Structures are given as structure tokens and as C-alpha cells.
């Protein structure tokens, strides 16, 4: 991999990361998929991606995939290998709050076991477009699935594959790109790594998690001399968080108020 990168640099090619997807863009996708008229979808009979139409089941599955990959900072190949026996749910009898625990079967950075579980609590209404618990409940309600791979191939007429085989990453990417076109967004800068990069930036910029906490949650080494996490936080290909004119503009409009602390200042 390093030698390939060196050859590309010598040839004058520039390494470009997939653009990080933002929580606002995921919100647009979520509400579009929620309100899109029900229609049969799936691959055309000839299997051509160019004739892919997303049906209600595909959209529900995509929302679940988006949220787990974004909030869990997962690679798509890790996401698509999740099976139902890797998932446990628990509801607090006093508060009624539900949590979902996902234990990944494998990780690129933990190939010899000792993989820490990902625990997702039900998020407030303001974050329903990112809530793993709600998305999983919607998928279970629609499919009644209880075993096998969670993410299976979507076939013609919006049918999920009966055989217990995971969805290929190529199909997930094709469906994601068609979903972006639904909301008039150019899909070219985005890829399967957009969720891992976007989730990392969301936790850092919007949720203001410390860098050490992000590394611990995402499974990165906390040896900051490697600076691996920097490429997830910064890339020239990403949309800017602040307009260049507003860096020192103390009178710019306030940000969206945080539903937890109610602060809307840019220094919160």
C-alpha cells in the first residue's frame, strides 16, 4: 500500500479522501426516506445499478446502515458483516429508555479479539435522524427478521435476499449514491468512508468530544504521535464548517441551539 501511494505521488496524483458526510445531510436523507411515497424498488431484472430504484425496505435498511456507521465510526465492511446474534437490546424498566449493544464479529484494528462493544442509547427527538435504536426498531418492524445477517442484498421489487449472505459493499455504495441523487446532491465526492469520517467530525465539532474519547470509542490507538485520526478530521475535500468571512465575525448569527445545554454560541 505504501509503495502504491509513492508511485501515485511520483506520477503527480493527489490522494483524496471521501468527503465526510454531515449530520445535516443525514437529516435530509432521513426525512426524504421517511416521506418518500412507497413504491417497489430494488435492482432491475438485469441487475443493472443504473436502473436501481429504492423502495421502502431499501430506504429503511439504508437509514439503519447510515446511523450505525456514522455514530459507531465503522468501516462499511465491518457494518455489513453484523448479524443478529451480535446485537442485544435492553430497556430500563424505570425510565423506559432503550439501548442497543453491538459486538462486532471482527475489526481491522482488532483482528485477534478483544473488540469493545458499541452501546447506543435511544437519542432525543432532536437527533432521531441519527438514532440507531429507532432505525433498528423500524427495520425489525418491517422485516420481522431475527437471525442471520442484518444487511442482506436487496433484489428486484424491493425484496431482501432469502439466503443468508451479506450485502456487498458495491451495492451499499450504489444505493447510497442513488439516495444522494434523490435529494439533488452530487454523489461523486462521497464514498463508503464518508460515514466514518463524518461521524468523527460530528463527535469532535458538534458534540465536542475530547480527542482521547473519540479514539477510545472508534478503536484508534491513543498514541497521538501517529496522528491517524487527523485525516478523519481534516481534508481539503470536505465542506467548510465556517465561512472564511466569519472566522473573526463576532456578530454572526448564532448556531443551532444544543438541546442538552441550550447554548447557541459558536464558542460553546
Task: Provide, rounded to the nearest whole percent, the portion of the chain with pLDDT above 70.
Answer: 74
pLDDT, position 45: 39
Q: Is 224's pLDDT higher than 60?
A: no
Domains and CATH numbers, the chain: 17-220 (1.10.443.10)
pLDDT tens-place string over residues 4-62 = 555 554 555 555 788 999 999 999 999 999 988 765 544 443 344 445 678 999 999 99
Q: Is 223's pLDDT higher than 80?
A: no
Q: How confident is the model at residue 188 (pLDDT cuts 50, 70, 90)?
A: very high
- Average pLDDT across the chain, whole number: 82
pLDDT tens-place string over residues 85-96 = 999 999 989 888
pLDDT, position 250: 56
pLDDT, position 160: 86
Q: What is the pTM assigned to this prediction?
A: 0.81
Burial class (CB in 10 A: 0-12, 13-18, 19+), 148: middle
| DSSP letter for each residue of 94-126 | TT--EEEEE--S-BTTBTTS-PPPEEEEPPPGG
Amino acid at each position: 500500500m505504501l509503495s502504491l501511494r509513492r508511485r501515485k505521488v511520483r506520477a503527480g496524483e493527489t490522494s483524496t479522501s471521501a468527503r465526510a458526510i454531515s449530520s445535516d445531510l443525514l437529516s435530509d436523507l432521513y426525512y426524504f426516506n421517511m416521506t418518500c411515497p412507497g413504491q417497489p424498488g430494488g435492482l432491475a431484472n438485469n441487475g443493472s445499478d443504473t436502473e436501481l430504484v429504492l423502495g421502502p425496505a431499501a430506504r429503511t435498511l439504508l437509514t439503519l446502515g447510515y446511523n450505525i456507521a456514522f455514530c459507531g465510526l465503522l468501516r462499511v465492511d465491518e457494518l455489513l458483516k453484523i448479524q443478529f446474534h451480535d446485537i442485544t437490546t435492553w430497556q430500563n424498566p424505570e425510565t423506559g429508555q432503550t439501548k442497543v449493544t453491538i459486538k462486532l464479529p471482527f475489526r481491522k484494528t482488532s483482528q485477534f479479539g478483544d473488540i469493545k462493544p458499541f452501546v447506543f442509547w435511544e437519542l432525543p427527538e432532536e437527533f432521531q435522524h441519527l438514532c440507531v435504536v429507532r432505525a433498528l426498531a423500524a427495520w425489525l418492524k418491517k422485516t420481522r427478521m431475527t437471525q442471520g445477517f442484518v444487511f442482506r442484498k436487496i433484489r428486484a421489487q424491493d425484496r431482501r435476499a432469502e439466503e443468508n449472505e451479506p450485502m456487498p459493499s458495491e451495492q451499499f455504495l450504489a444505493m447510497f449514491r442513488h439516495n444522494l441523487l434523490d435529494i439533488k446532491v452530487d454523489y461523486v465526492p462521497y464514498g463508503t468512508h464518508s460515514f466514518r469520517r463524518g461521524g468523527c467530525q460530528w463527535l469532535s465539532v458538534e458534540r465536542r468530544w475530547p480527542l482521547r474519547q473519540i479514539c477510545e470509542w472508534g478503536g484508534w490507538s491513543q498514541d497521538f504521535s501517529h496522528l491517524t485520526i487527523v485525516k478523519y478530521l481534516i481534508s481539503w475535500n470536505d465542506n467548510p464548517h465556517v465561512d472564511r468571512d466569519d472566522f473573526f465575525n463576532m456578530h454572526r448569527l448564532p448556531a443551532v441551539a444544543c438541546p442538552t445545554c441550550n447554548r447557541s454560541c459558536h464558542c460553546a
